[in-house]
Amino acid sequence: MGALLFMTFSAASLSARLHAGHLNQQGEPYLDHVTAVVTLLRERWPDAPDHAIEAAWLHDAMGRKGVTPASLLRAGISPEAVRLIGMLTRLTAVDELEWAEALAASGDLWAIRIKLADFAHNSPPARARLEAAERTLRGIGLR
C-alpha cells in the first residue's frame, strides 16, 4: 500500500510542478481545477483506484511543456495512469464532441469518470453549486 500512496503523491507533486504559475480563464491557479477534479472523483467514487487518482492529477498534463507518455513513465507514473491520461488527452484537431463520444464509447469506466469530474468542475452552474455546498458544509462544521 505504501508504494501506491507514493505513486499518488508523486502524481500530485508532478501536477503542481507542471501547472506552477498557470492560471485558468478566471485568473485562478490552474492547480485549483486539477485538485477539484481529484476531489470530485474521490467524493463521487470513493473506490477509485490509485491509478485513476494519479490520472486525475495529470488529466490536463499531456502536451504541456513536453509531457509525453514516456516522460510520465520516467517520472514514476504508473503505466495504467499513463494509459488513462492518454485517453483523456484531446488533440486540438479533433472535434470536442466527437472526442467525448469516442471516450464514452471506449467503455473505460475510470477515463469516463475522470472526464465527468472534469466536466462537472468546468461547468459554471455545477461549479457554483459545488462552491455553495462547500460553504454550507463549512458553515455547519462538516468540512
Residue 98: partners with Cβ closer than 8 Å, 6 or more residues away: none
Judge contact between 55 and 84, C-beta under 8 A: yes
Instruction: Record the pTM.
Output: 0.79
Residue 22 cell numbers, joined: 498557470
Task: Render pLDDT for 24-51 as a digit per residue (tens, 0 to 9).
Answer: 777 888 888 899 999 999 999 999 999 9
Smallest Cα–Cα separation from 86: which of 117, 54, 45?
54
Count CA within 13 A, CB hemisphere, residue 106: 18
Does domain 2-139 fall into CATH 1.10.3210.10?
Answer: yes
Domain boundaries, given as residue ranges, for the chain = 2-139
Higher pLDDT, 52 or 127: 52
- What's the pLDDT at 56? 96
Q: What is the pLDDT of residues 56-74, one digit of tens each?
A: 999 988 876 788 999 999 9
Average pLDDT over residues 102-106: 87
Instruction: Give Cβ neighbours of residue 117 (< 8 Å, ≥ 6 apart).
Output: 37, 38, 40, 41, 44, 56
The pLDDT assigned to 51 comes to: 94
Task: Say if residues 59 and 118 touch (Cβ distance below 8 Å).
Answer: yes
